[in-house]
Amino acid sequence: MHAEHPTTAVRTREPGTEGCATAVAHPNIALIKYWGKRDERLVLPRTDSLSLTLDVFPTTTRVRLAPGALHDEVTFGGVPAQGEARRRIIAFLELVRERAGLPHRAVVDTENTVPTGAGLASSASGFAALAVAASAAYGLGLDPTALSRLARRGSGSASRSIFGGFAIWHAGRDSDPDPDLGSYAQPVPAGDLDPALVVAVVDAGPKSVSSREAMRRTVDTSPLYRSWAASSEDDLADMQRALLRADLDAVGEIAERNALGMHATMLAARPAVRYLSPATLTVLDSVLQLRRDGVPAYATMDAGPNVKVLCRRTDAHQVAGAVRAAAPGGSVHIAGPGQGAHLLDEAP
Ligand code: DP6
């Protein structure tokens, strides 16, 4: 990790300032994917994963306790949250209340700058920001590891957005005395890499199948799942070594094969889950062409058609230009390593 990018920026609040807190968190992109749970309730994954937290698309969440209120009030940019999104946030608040031993309902307002539901990890930044803001508002006083475990209960990938830069999320083991304690993220040591991720949004609409449902279906029905999970373990070990020696080509190659393997498991699910669109494949072709032209660039895709291209920061504009030309209808953003989730000072 380049020295100028802090890996963690979680601060705990001074005692006596509970009641209201605002936190900001950024999405992370997995270079070794999380795909498949072994425990749905505790959100325990089947495999370890590793990601880079970005410096774009922050989510800002404010939590204010409302003693005496009968219900939680949840809004996205001031608009009342609905359906599954609202249900998941309220379930998360219940967990925090149980831990805090406080009955108070809360007013939660979230500002998302990432297109929600487009496979760009808005749930990662969303639940990381909510974990940090809610635990401060309810006075839980958690350290970063405990915040990571808590964020995991909202959305698995959120466990990694608690930390800046590269982070590994340990799956933990069923033999752990308390399986909840064994599954958390932490920063990963990396050499002096200076990476960029060029994010090609080819379709910002909501996805046809939620990642939650898609990973469940993959684990239950895909004959390729087990072999991908086994090879992902090897990918992770290779990735950690590649990061330590700051070998961008190796990091990119491993990330690309891990992501393509994950999508192969989904394509083999019954019925198949196919997030990759014609525009995705056109962008993937442009990445191959960049490599043929001598520019190190490697693609990864999540639960959606959008493509994130890992490259050197010095090549980012050239990569962005190539990707933009390949998918002219979309938008392209250049991201670098970002900070972990942290509290913002409240206006007096
Ligand atoms: C493809 O963290 O959104 O982005 O735990 O069910 O909320 P839940 O899933 P989520 O899944 C992210 C999957 C992924 C890969 C990754 O980020 O590792």
Distance CA 124, CA 219 (A): 21
121 band by pLDDT with thresholds 50, 70 and 90: low
Q: What is the mean pLDDT of residues 62-84?
A: 96
Q: What is the mean pLDDT of residues 190-208?
A: 89
Return the number of other C-beta atoms located less than 10 Å from residue 294's C-beta: 7
Q: What is the mean pLDDT of residues 184-210?
A: 91
Q: Which two tokens stand for residue 15?
A: 């005692």
Q: Which two tokens stand for residue 210?
A: 């939620």
Look at residue 207 in the predicted model and tell me its pLDDT: 76
Look at residue 332 in the predicted model and tell me its pLDDT: 94
204 band by pLDDT with thresholds 50, 70 and 90: confident
| Best residue among 26, 127, 130, 157 to mutate for probing ligand 1, ranked by most atoms within 8 Å of CB | 157
Look at residue 15 in the predicted model and tell me its pLDDT: 42
Distance CA 317, CA 128 (A): 30
| Best residue among 31, 50, 89, 211 to mutate for probing ligand 1, ranked by most atoms within 8 Å of CB | 211
Asked if residue 167 has its Cβ within 6 Å of ligand 1, the reply is: no
* Residues in CB range of 212: below 8 A, 6 or more apart: none
Kindly report the backbone phi and psi dihedral angles of residue 197, in degrees, each rounded to the nearest multiple of 5, phi listed first. -120, 120
Distance CA 324, CA 330 (A): 7
Distance CA 208, CA 216 (A): 15
Q: Is 64 helix (H, G, I), strand (E, B) or coil?
A: strand
pLDDT tops 50 at residue 170: yes
Helix axes 225-244, 248-267, angle to 10 degrees: 170
Q: How much distance in Å is there from the Cα of 328 to the middle of ligand 1? A: 28
Look at residue 347 in the predicted model and tell me its pLDDT: 56
* Residues in CB range of 29: below 8 A, 6 or more apart: 51, 52, 54, 121, 197, 300, 302, 308
Look at residue 8 in the predicted model and tell me its pLDDT: 41
Say which CATH architecture domain 20-191+338-344 belongs to: 2-Layer Sandwich (3.30)
Look at residue 18 in the predicted model and tell me its pLDDT: 63
Global pTM? Answer: 0.94
pLDDT in tens, 263-288: 999 999 999 999 999 999 999 999 99
pLDDT tops 60 at residue 5: no
Q: How much distance in Å is there from the Cα of 151 to the middle of ligand 1? A: 12
Q: Which atom of ligand 1 is nearest to the CA of 154?
A: 7
Beta bridge partners of 311: 196, 297
Domain ranges of the chain: 20-191+338-344, 195-335
More confident residue, 6 or 325: 325
DSSP code, position 207: P
With the C-alpha atoms ordered 254, 257, 262, 265, is the resulting torsion angle positive or negative?
negative
Return the number of other C-beta atoms located less than 10 Å from residue 272's C-beta: 12
Distance CA 40, CA 229 (A): 17
Q: What is the mean pLDDT of residues 1-21?
A: 49
- Lowest-confidence region among 16-20, 240-244, 258-262, 307-311: 16-20
CB of 304 within 8 A of CB of 207?
A: yes
User: Would you identify the CATH topology of the domain 195-335?
Assistant: Alpha-Beta Plaits (3.30.70)
Look at residue 201 in the predicted model and tell me its pLDDT: 92
Asked if residue 45 has its Cβ within 6 Å of ligand 1, the reply is: no
More confident residue, 16 or 99: 99
Q: How much distance in Å is there from the Cα of 28 to the middle of ligand 1? A: 10
Asked if residue 212 has its Cβ within 6 Å of ligand 1, the reply is: yes
Q: What is the mean pLDDT of residues 176-195?
A: 95
Q: How much distance in Å is there from the Cα of 344 to the middle of ligand 1? A: 26
Q: How much distance in Å is there from the Cα of 38 to the middle of ligand 1? A: 14
Q: How many residues does the chain have?
A: 348
CB of 254 within 8 A of CB of 235?
A: yes
CB of 148 within 8 A of CB of 184?
A: yes
Q: What is the mean pLDDT of residues 176-183?
A: 95
Sole residue written with tokens 């995705």: 280
Q: Which atom of ligand 1 is nearest to the CA of 49?
A: 18
Asked if residue 156 has its Cβ within 6 Å of ligand 1, the reply is: yes
CB of 55 within 8 A of CB of 26?
A: yes
Q: What is the mean pLDDT of residues 3-28?
A: 63
The fraction of the chain above a pLDDT of 70, given in percent, is: 92
Look at residue 115 in the predicted model and tell me its pLDDT: 63
Distance CA 331, CA 318 (A): 15
HSE-up (13 A, CA, CB side) for residue 243? 22
What value does the CA radius of gyration of the chain take, rounded to a whole number of Å? 19
239 band by pLDDT with thresholds 50, 70 and 90: very high
Burial 235-249 (b: 16+ CB within 10 A, else e): bbebbbebbeebebe
Distance CA 341, CA 157 (A): 13
Q: How much distance in Å is there from the Cα of 277 to the middle of ligand 1? A: 19
Residue nearest to atom 8 of ligand 1 (CA): 155
